[in-house]
Amino acid sequence: MASFNPVKIFSGSQSTYLAEKIAHYYGKDLGGYTCRRFSDGEMSPSFEESVRGCDVFLIQSTPPPGDNLMELLLMVDAARRASAHYVTVVIPYFGYARQDRKDKPRVAIAAKLVANMLQAAGVDRLMTIDLHAGQIQGFFDFPVDHLEGTSVFVPYIKSLALENLIIASPDVGGAGRARTFAKHFNAEIVLCDKHRKRANEIASMQVIGDVEGMNVVLVDDLIDTGGTLCKAAQILLDKGAKSVRAVCTHPIMSGKAHENIANSVLEELVIADTLPLSQANPKIRVLSVAELFAKAIGRIRDHESISSLFIRY
């Protein structure tokens, strides 16, 4: 049974570029919203139209700095205080997801803290894509719709008609992600085993598996500085790979990422538009997930299954 509550879609300051495309595919204009700032940077968001009794979708990725997350929390609170019927946050890139466990003493579990803050603000539902670790969904006590980037990446890779295709993970932790991706092509996987000195700095890396004469596709959920990805690509090519390209959902692209990609042996880097690129790069191909999110919003509105949007093996 379809919902009779009006649907309204709003975008935070960080994700307007993507929210406009989502709203277009959904068939509605973005709702009126402004975020004023005091001289010290304090934010004061407000909706410029009524949301009373509406099913509200708030679109905002939450990469650092914390302003993006804080603005989203304030948007949720404003919607709640304006008597919105149901508040869904659409977070294309869920920031702080890399801190999903205690990997050493005396550290925070930031992903859980963000989940707690979203719940405290009054969120009813979360929609996101390709979390760093799927188990992060368990941090939430409300429904989470976890979309899959394979819905846009797999058709593109298939369109290349690559022979002798093999899927690779740039680290052992991504083995499950690579295996899932490989099933769409009935392909084998190889792993790059890395050891880090510290964050964003790799001490050593080795390849587990044979890539001689193969067209390799590296698969990861995000690319930050690109150091791991570029080093993995070089090692795979040194091991006899015919070509190496990469698929990463979230383009954080910090530091010298663009320079690293441009100077790497990668044929291309295929990314989603969950985050905006700071500059053009001839080696980067962007595939949009806007239509995927729009369809998911429609299914939530109509109380239909989200899993019908996933590509099956």
**What residue numbers does the annotated binding site cover?**
40-42, 98-99, 132, 171, 196, 220, 224-228
Ranges of beta strands (E only) in 69-135 are 86-91, 125-129
Binding site residue list for D-ribose 5-phosphate: 196, 220, 224-228
Q: Which residues are catalytic?
A: 194
Phi, psi of 55 (to 5 degrees): -85, 110
Binding site residue list for Mg(2+): 132, 171
**Residue in this structure with the two tokens 């990314």, named with its chain if needed:** 271
Distances (CA, A) of 36 to 17, 49, 65, 71: 19, 16, 18, 11
Token pair listed for 305: 């299954």
Give per-residue burial for 262-278: e unless 16+ CB within 10 Å, then b.
Answer: bebebbbbbbbbbbeee
DSSP string, 227-246: HHHHHHHHHHHHTT-SEEEE
**Residue in this structure with the two tokens 């099956």, named with its chain if needed:** 312
Binding site residue list for ATP: 40-42, 98-99
**Residue in this structure with the two tokens 């962007």, named with its chain if needed:** 286
How many Å apart are CA 212 and CA 216, to the nearest integer? 10
Query: Both ends of the chain: CA-CA distance in Å?
Result: 30
Q: DSSP state, 92?
A: S
Distances (CA, A) of 40 to 6, 185, 192, 267: 36, 53, 46, 45
How many Å apart are CA 154 and CA 268, to the nearest integer? 15
